[in-house]
Amino acid sequence: MANDAAEGTQAEQPDGPSLSDIGLVGALARLLDEQMVKKEIKPRIDGPKIPLLKAYETGQSELVVRIGDDLIGRYRVNIAQPKVAVDPDNEEALNQYADEHGGIEVIIRRNPTWEEALLTHAKYDEDTGLIVDTRTGEAVPGLKYEKGGDPTGSLTWTWEQKDVGRKRLMRRYQDGALNHLLAETPELMAGPRPTAEDVQH
């Protein structure tokens, strides 16, 4: 499911602007927010979040933002990494294990430092389905394996080649190439348009 969609096959939204246009407005809002820090712009910055997370369900994990042939940047769906975590449904077993291995504090709770170290050294064994403390080789009760791979609900934005995408977008914004999108987003047009000097600072 986490396959990146081809740049030209980004999902279209039947009842509104395309995901590509939403991404472009989001990138512009991000750029203008860096320059002007306007409260009205903030919601536009994460405008691609909900449609891209929806598109992720059909296999698109990245949105490449471009104007014509100019690559501006990309949004990427953040994915949960696999990890070992405390199983709240089996915590008593972990408490017993902690008691046997010096992981209980005097106040009769697991020592958070010990637990953090245990989770760092715990490894899921696919063959047995057990979670093992790699320091001792023992199976650790009360832990569960979370496979990861599902969207975390957040996106990561990356400007193309650091400032290159930022400068391309500002140039296209100033020459009016985005006016067709800005008619629906007047908060991005309010006030004087930034100059080329503004984007370099």
7-24 tens-digit pLDDT = 444 444 457 778 887 787
DSSP code at position 162: T
Residue 199 pLDDT greater than 60, yes or no: no
Compute the mean pLDDT over every residue in the chain, rounded to the nearest whole number: 77
Local confidence band at 143 (pLDDT 50, 70, 90 cut-offs): very high
**Least confident segment among 102-111, 136-145, 172-181:** 172-181
| pLDDT (0 to 100) of residue 8 | 41
Distance between CA 155 and CA 77 in Å, rounded? 5
The amino acid present at 26, given as its one-letter code, is G
Q: Which residue stretches of 37-162 are H helix?
A: 42-45, 49-56, 91-100, 112-121
Residue 179's Cβ-count burial label (10 Å; 0-12, 13-18, 19+) is: exposed
Local confidence band at 58 (pLDDT 50, 70, 90 cut-offs): confident
Q: Which residue stretches of the chain are H helix?
A: 19-36, 42-45, 49-56, 91-100, 112-121, 163-174, 179-182, 196-200
| pLDDT (0 to 100) of residue 11 | 46
Distance between CA 188 and CA 132 in Å, rounded? 53
Tell which phi-psi region holds residue 3, choosing left (phi > 0), alpha (psi between -120 and 50) or beta.
beta
Place of tokens 């940047």: 73
Residue 2 pLDDT greater than 60, yes or no: no
Local confidence band at 3 (pLDDT 50, 70, 90 cut-offs): very low
The residue with greater pLDDT, 193 or 120, is 120
Residues 54-58 have a mean pLDDT of 86
DSSP code at position 1: -
Calculate the CA 50 to chain-centre distance.
12
Residue 23 token pair: 């991404």
